[in-house]
């Protein structure tokens, strides 16, 4: 399966239409519904 941290789009040729000022999509809302996620303690996998 693809590794989540590796962007499969990297290295692909750029869409020539992208980058035009008028086409910039709106960014995500500042506080998306469903937030409230605590930071995960670093490193260690939980198992059970």
Partner 1 sequence: MEVFWPRKERLEFELRALREAGIEYEIVSGDPTQLGELRIRLLSPLEGHDFDLDVIFPELYPYFRFQIGTKDVELGHHHNPFEGFLCVIGRGTDQWKLSDTVAKFVQERVPLTIGTGAESEREAVEGVEEQQAEPFSNYYPYADRHLLLIDGNWSIDPGIRSGSLVLGISRQPLNLPLKAIVREVRDNEGRVLAEFDDSVFTDGYRHTRYARWIRLEEPIRESDAAACFAAAQEQDSGASEGRITEFQGGHLRIIVTLFPEEHSWRDGQSGLGWVGVAQKNMRSGQEHFFIRVARAGRDDFSVRMPELQHMREQEIAVIGLGCLGAPSALEFSRMGVGQLRLIDPDFVDPPTTARWPLGRPVYGESKVKVLGQFIVAHYPRTEIPKVAPLKIGAIRSDSVVPGSEWEALESILDDASLIYDATGEHGVQRFLSEYARQTETPYVWVEGRQGGWGGLVGRAMPGEACWACIECAQADDEVASPPSAPDDVGWRQPQGCGDPTFTGAGFDMHTIAMSGVRAAVAALAEAADDYPARPWNVEVISLRDEDEGAAVPTWDVATVDRRSDCPVCVE
CB of 40 to partner 1, least distance (A): 6
**25 counts as binding partner 1 under rule CB under 8 A:** no
- Give the contacts of 2 (CB within 8 A, at least 6 positions apart): 8
Q: From 2, 36, 33, select the one nearest 10 (Cα to Cα).
A: 2
Q: What minimum distance in Å lies between the beta carbon of 27 and partner 1?
A: 20
Provide the 3-class DSSP secondary structure of residue 22. helix
- Asked if 47 is part of the footprint of partner 1 (rule: CB under 8 A), the reply reads yes
Pick 25 or 29: Cβ nearer partner 1: 29
* Binding-site ranges for partner 1 (CB under 8 A): 35-48
């Amino acid at each position: 399966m693809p590794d989540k941290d590796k962007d499969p789009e990297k290295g692909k040729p750029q869409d020539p239409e992208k980058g035009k000022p008028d086409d910039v999509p709106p960014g995500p809302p500042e506080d998306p519904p469903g937030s409230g996620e605590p930071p995960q303690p670093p490193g260690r996998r939980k198992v059970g």
